[in-house]
Structure 1
């Protein structure tokens, strides 16, 4: 097992990899105590059976520069293959200002090829590569050096078996004419905006049903302060204050330290110092927002708006169409999507591109009364009307 600890060794490997049609990539990182992921290891492999075609890269080695790796990531002639790529790509987007392209995610491809919802790497390794992954090193501290042989073996397996998985899935997609389906899904992963968290937009991740726009304005300011503080101090946002505490403060609207102390869910460290000051300032800003600048209150779909019978029919249709196509249903449409359609929505991701071909077009026909569903044994048939 080769571990690269110098820029020169990394450059030499990347030069060899640049002559291959693809390179498989994985990372090991820590994020429990920081806002940004701490990159601890990069695993790379390209097609071959030798000892030099799969390596570990130690980004913590003194003096190493990952520039050659980012150059390889930008090479348009080499497909960069990941499994469940989003977290890995976020690291490279932030640390190296680079998103590997062209890009292939085997988890997405497996869902398109009928392996089920959010299929794990171990499952694909077992079913496709006929390999068993030793999980004992999964939750080890990847920042500690030296790495054990067990850690190295586990880490390297994440890219060696991935070669077999990629070649199998790529062939399946080509055979079924679905390569373009996966390409559509890669658009989100290739977009730099996917990995940027704008503090002013952070409040949209909060789960609240409070319909008051002023309350949302305060929550927006509290979420923005928390995001900015977490980013600048590189601490997890929940270490600043958790969502439930944020929503409690938005409801309390404290204007001084005494009133802030009434918040039951706020961490002790946040009741004084710069966090407490930031909270009070955020509440003040939220209270001062002009009426025209108040955030729009999301419309909650009531059960009365949703045609329950139609929602049930859409669920049957989705299951039938995705089983027929051999693709994971949640990749095509979510339960929320089905409720939206049953409440009158006529556009969404489910209606566009390959999703429209698999499900969306027939979903609209069902809503318009142009098709019906019939059952024969275990099979659901679409009947034109």
Structure 2
């Protein structure tokens, strides 16, 4: 098992990889104590069975530059294959502003090929590669050196089995004509907005049932402060304050340190110093905000839909029937919220665009308009024209 510890060795492997049609990639990282993920290991493999066809890259070695790998990521003649790529791509985007292109995500492809919702890598290894995966090292500390043999064996398995899985899924997509479906799904993964959190918009990630514009204005300022503070110091946002504490503060509206100290949920270190000052300023800014500048509570997310429950149930049956027929994961087509929106007469849902419309959306609209009907035939549900 080869571990790369120099830029020269990495450049040599990447030059060889550039001669192949694809390279499989995975990472190991830590994020429990930081805002941004700390990259601890990169695994890569090219087609073949020789020892040098799969390598571990140690980014923690002093002096090693990952630029040869990033250059390979920019090479559009080589497909970069990941499984559940989102967190890996976030690391590369934050570290170097680069996205691997072209990209292939075996989790997304497996959903299109009928393996169910968010299928795990271990399942694909078992069902496609016909191998068993040892996951005992999954939650170890990848920042500690030296790595154990068990860690290395686990890590390299995440890219060696991926070769056969990719080849099988790619062939299946070509056979069914669904390669474009996967490409459409992956566009969001290679868009910077997917990984960029704008502090003034961070409040939208905080779940609350309160419709008060003033309350939401304070939530917005507190979430903004938390995001800026966490990003600037590279610490988890929950180390600044957790969501429940943030909502408590938006309700109690402390005006000074004494009132802040009465919080039941705020962490001890947040009751003094820079965090305490930032919280009090955020609350004050939220209270002082002009009425016109407060968050609007009548936005689309807060709009109460007039859902026809019977129609929503029929849409769920139609979705299940279509997905079983087409062998594609239901979650990839439409969410429960999408179905409720359709049953309420909305037509601006994702299920009505692109390939989803072919599989489900077009028929869903016709069902809503009374032009289609459903009938049970044994274990199957059949769809027919009215």
- Range class of TM-score, shorter chain: over 0.9
Structure 1 segments, 4+ long, off by >4 Å, are: none
Shift of 1:193: 1.3
Question: For residues 208-287 of structure 1, what are the structure 2 equivalents within 5 Å?
Answer: 208-287=208-287
Question: Counterpart of 1:98 in 2: which secondary structure?
Answer: coil
Is 1:193 the equivalent of 2:199? no
For 2:138, the equivalent position in structure 1 comes to 138
Query: What are the superposed Cα offsets for residues 304-349 of structure 1, whole Å, 9 maximum, x if unpaired?
Result: 7211101100100000001111000011001111111112211211
Q: Any gaps of 5 or more consecutive residues in structure 1?
A: none
Deviations 1:352-378 (A, max 9, x none): 001111111111111111111111111
Q: Which of 181-190 and 338-347 deviates more?
A: 338-347
Superposition deviation, residue 255 in structure 1: 1.2
Deviations 1:32-76 (A, max 9, x none): 011010000000001111111100000001110000000000001
Equivalences for residues 62-77 of structure 1 within 5 A: 62-77=62-77
SS at match of 1:139: coil
CA distance in 2, matches of 1:259, 1:338: 45
1:300 CA displacement: 3.6
Q: Distance in 2 between matches of 1:271 and 1:278?
A: 10
Q: Which residue does 2:359 correspond to in 1?
A: 358
Give the count of matched residue pairs: 384
Q: CA–CA distance in 2 between the matches of 1:263 and 1:117?
A: 41
TM superposition score normalised by structure 1:
0.98
Q: Which residue of 2 aligns with 1:367?
A: 368
- Distance in 1 (alpha carbons) for counterparts of 2:357 and 2:208: 31
Alpha-carbon shift at residue 292 of structure 1 (Å):
1.9
Provide the C-alpha distance between the structure 2 equivalents of 1:253 and 1:361, rounded to a whole number of angstroms: 49
Supply the distance in 2 between the matched residues of 1:267 and 1:350 (Cα, whole angstroms).
42
**Could you say what secondary structure the match of 1:87 adopts?**
helix
Q: Describe how 1:7-156 pairs up with structure 2 within 5 A.
A: 7-156=7-156
- Give, in angstroms, the shift of residue 301 of structure 1: 5.5
* Cα distance between partner residues in 2 of 1:368 and 1:293: 40
Deviation sequence 1:204-248 (CA, Å, 0-9, x none): 111111011111111011001001100111110011100011011
Determine helix, strand or coil for the equivalent of 1:128: helix
Quick one: distance in 1 between partners of 2:140 and 2:294? 46
Cα shift readout 1:260-304 (whole Å, capped 9, x = no counterpart): 1222111111111100100011111111222221111145455x7
Deviation of the 1:130 alpha carbon: 0.8
Aligned partners of 2:306 and 2:262: how far apart in 1?
A: 39
Which deviates more, 318-327 or 287-296? Answer: 287-296
1:150-191 CA-to-partner distances (Å, cap 9, x unmatched) read: 110100000000000000000000000000000000110010
State TM-score, norm by structure 2.
0.98
